[in-house]
Amino acid sequence: MNLFNKSIDNYFIFLFSIIPITILIGPAISLINILAIVVSFIIFYLRRNLSFLLKKKVFLFLCFLYVYLILNSFLSIDFEISMNRNFGFIRYIILFITINFFCLKFYNFKKILKFWTIIFSLVLFDVIFELYNGHNILGYVSENKKRVVSFFKDEAVVGAFLNGFIFIILGFLFTDFEKKKFLYKTLIFLFILISLICLIYSGERSNTIKLIIGLSIFFYFNNKINLKYKIVLTVTLLFLFLISIMNSPYVKHRYVNDLVEKIIDKKSRQNYIYFKLYNSGFEVFKNYPFFGVGNKNYIVDTFKSLHDKNDEYICNTHPHQIYFEFLSEHGIFGSLVLLIILFYLIFRNIKIMLIKNNLIQIGCFSYLIINFIPVLPGGSFFADFNANFFWINFSLFYALNSDTNIFKQKINNES
């Protein structure tokens, strides 16, 4: 029996370990892996008494969120499209339970996090390789020669991937930082600098800005680093950013000339694709102010503009900004539901996080916060690619601190 239990543990370790790899391969493989995790948990552990979860606020709020999403499907202009996304959201609730269960009951995530660090480092190397050679190590070439695709073949989303894992990894690497040797500390700082360089030269402005803000939050709450190190690191990061702008015409154009012009010049601002998308999202919201068009239905409504010739609408998959996405697809009512639940579940743990100074938890918190930065564009919040990063960070945010793990009281009672 012990051998069987050990085999099950190793099976789950494997599934968790390959999460970054499956995301690199593609959405379908990533979805299969997540489903394998949640279905396997149901098969092997649902026989346990989990009724105590009904007393956990985080679980009840997630269930309420799921109920709202089901309701959103019935209020959508196209039920079938919303249903596929909303009904499938339950996998993230079960994933949250699964990650909490394994983090506290069987083992910590050190083995998994070490493997994630290796995969992350490989992607960093691949980004640098592509910057110098024009193609990644597998030969993938970006259609836009000035953008980096890395292992994502034809999509410039490597910045989102790096941001999705870097704060978890930094929290892991900074654990017991004060006890580490000088060489180890130096390597961590080099790791951060290389990550920032990769983001800057990847051409993804939004993710670069999010990384800088996220790092600021992480280091502000990280008391394992004294003030001198924080000042040195901050100055170094800013200096590196300025040097990149001065030495690269492309970076200067992306972060200074092009960006400033789009913000200051009214004509450029009106023609800027993201501002046009924001305006389009707001127009959809004005037409469906209370409940929106329904999750994933922005494209359904704006597609009609091709026939109706609505100049305010921009046909796209989503408005590319979280608040405009929420407003257009969920209306004022749904947006308030989503934001109140998400902000409550994130900020309710700040006191415990700071008292414990759990670095991985602080890292996850930093990532969760940068998703809600106003104005900056981003991917669709509920799309699989972005949802995987958010809910993995959210799950670890609770799971890797014994005081916030939802199974703490249950396991203590069984001991």
pLDDT recorded at residue 164: 96
Q: What is the pTM of this model?
A: 0.92
The full DSSP string for 66-81 is HHHHHHHHHHSSSHHH
pLDDT recorded at residue 231: 82
Weakest-pLDDT range from 87-96, 277-286, 364-373: 277-286
Cα 238 from Cα 188, distance rounded (Å): 17
pLDDT recorded at residue 20: 97
Structure tokens at 132: 């110098």
Do residues 97 and 406 touch, judged by C-beta distance below 8 A? yes
| Better-predicted residue by pLDDT, 407 or 262 | 407
User: Please, which pLDDT band fits residue 176 given cuts at 50, 70 and 90?
Assistant: confident
C-alpha pair distances (Å), 107 with each of 6, 110, 166, 192: 11, 8, 22, 28
Do residues 258 and 250 touch, judged by C-beta distance below 8 A? no
User: Please, which pLDDT band fits residue 175 given cuts at 50, 70 and 90?
Assistant: confident
User: Please, which pLDDT band fits residue 413 given cuts at 50, 70 and 90?
Assistant: very low
Tens-digit pLDDT profile for residues 79-129 = 999 998 999 999 999 999 999 998 876 556 788 999 999 999 999 999 999
| Better-predicted residue by pLDDT, 38 or 270 | 38
Tens-digit pLDDT profile for residues 218-257 = 988 988 877 877 788 778 888 887 887 777 777 777 777 6
pLDDT recorded at residue 270: 67
| Better-predicted residue by pLDDT, 51 or 343 | 343
Q: Cα angle at 250 between 169 and 321, to 5 degrees?
A: 55
For residue 104, with 0-12 CB atoms within 10 Å meaning exposed, 13-18 middle and 19 or more buried, which class applies? buried
Q: What 8-state DSSP symbol labels residue 253?
A: I
Structure tokens at 27: 């959405």
Over the chain, what is the mean pLDDT? Answer: 88
Cα 141 from Cα 158, distance rounded (Å): 13
Cα 253 from Cα 50, distance rounded (Å): 55
* Mean pLDDT on 143-172: 90
Structure tokens at 116: 């994630």
